[in-house]
Amino acid sequence: MFTILSATGKTGSEIIKFFSAAGIPCNAVTSDLSRSVILPHINWVENNIPAGTKKLFLNTAVTADMFDVQRRFIDTAKDAGVEHIVKLSTPGASPTSKDRTGQVHWQIEEYLRNSGMNWNSLQPQTFMQNWLGNLANNVRQERKIYAVAGDGKKAFTDTRDIGEVAFTLLTDPKKYINKIIPLSGPAPVSYYEVAAAISDAIGETVTYIPQTPEEGKARMEKAGFPEWAVQMNLLVDMGQRSGAAEKLFSDNVAEILGKPGRSIYDFAKDHSKSFI
């Protein structure tokens, strides 16, 4: 039996769609059953790993106690006889990460590796779906995109592709067992190219406005971002600005799925209504 944690999240919600479409029974775990979506073959449960689970997708919200939360899920899974865990992590997972979240993900990866169960750690680049929040709001109101990334590039990843990779690893892992798997979109792109893709999708010109870190910080604070989110977004953008993010490009999505991941043009077209 398969169980997906955070099944209403950006990635978990995509994974369960693949199970449903394939006709494979799957448990979908959430902390809020009111957010559950009825799908064929999907059994919704609240904050629990059901008995009989053999394959588990591990993801939880980014919180101050994320290590303890995920450690408990790993311990519970091991005691319940789970054989394989696929964890959603981050490319920044490292004991020396400048981002506290990256340090915690590394600690969880280490704990999982030492659990005795089979495992995978998915390390996707920034989600394209993140653009559907503040970025999309700015596009709707001003036809502008703001970021501190300069002309740096990153291979942004569509969560639909991450979901399909996770589904594939859970159902047919082949040679990928016990590996960290970086994931990215089909090509590194700058925000100038993101603006062009959205412009093409909505038929109106969208302009990218590169900002200094000071300007970006002031913009996010004015928009009501909490301090931790401001600092995290600045760190992510500066990684792109410096060229470090571009070096993280991988072709694992195409290798695992046998097809290229979705491009920014695919994403913008599919979500064009969010930008109008």
Mean pLDDT of 130-159: 97
Write down all domains in the chain, each with its CATH number in brackets. Answer: 2-124 (3.40.50.720), 125-156+183-249+258-275 (3.90.25.10)
Distances (CA, A) of 273 to 159, 208, 268, 270: 18, 19, 9, 8
Q: Kindly report, residue by residue over 21-56, the tens digit of the pLDDT.
A: 999 999 999 999 999 999 999 999 999 999 999 999
Query: Mean pLDDT for the chain?
Result: 96
Position 112 scores a pLDDT of 98
Query: How do residues 195-218 score in pLDDT, each as one tens digit?
Result: 999 999 999 999 999 999 999 999
Taking the alpha carbons of 112, 183, 254, 6 in that order, is the dihedral positive or negative? positive
Rounded Cα distance between 30 and 13, Å, is 10
User: What confidence score (pLDDT) does residue 206 get?
Assistant: 98
With 0-12 / 13-18 / 19 or more C-beta atoms within 10 angstroms meaning exposed / middle / buried, residue 95 is exposed
CA 158/CA 182 separation, integer angstroms: 13
Q: Is the pLDDT of residue 163 over 90?
A: yes
172-192: average pLDDT: 96
pTM for this model (two decimals):
0.95
215-260 pLDDT per residue, tens: 999 999 999 999 988 998 999 999 999 999 999 999 999 999 999 9
What percent of the chain lies above the pLDDT cut of 90? 95
What is the mean pLDDT of the segment spanning 145-150?
98
Question: Average pLDDT for residues 156-178, to the nearest whole number?
Answer: 97
Assess contact for 51 and 27: CB atoms under 8 A.
no
Q: In whole angstroms, what is the distance from residue 216 CA to residue 132 CA? A: 18
d(CA 114, CA 109): 9
pLDDT at 99: 84
Residue 98: pLDDT band (50, 70, 90) is: confident
Q: Check residue 95 and give its pLDDT.
A: 94
The pLDDT score that the predictor gives to residue 20 is 98
pLDDT band at 64 (very low <50, low <70, confident <90, very high): confident
Task: Using the predicted structure, report yes or no on whether residue 76 has a pLDDT greater than 90.
Answer: yes
Residue 184 has a pLDDT of 97
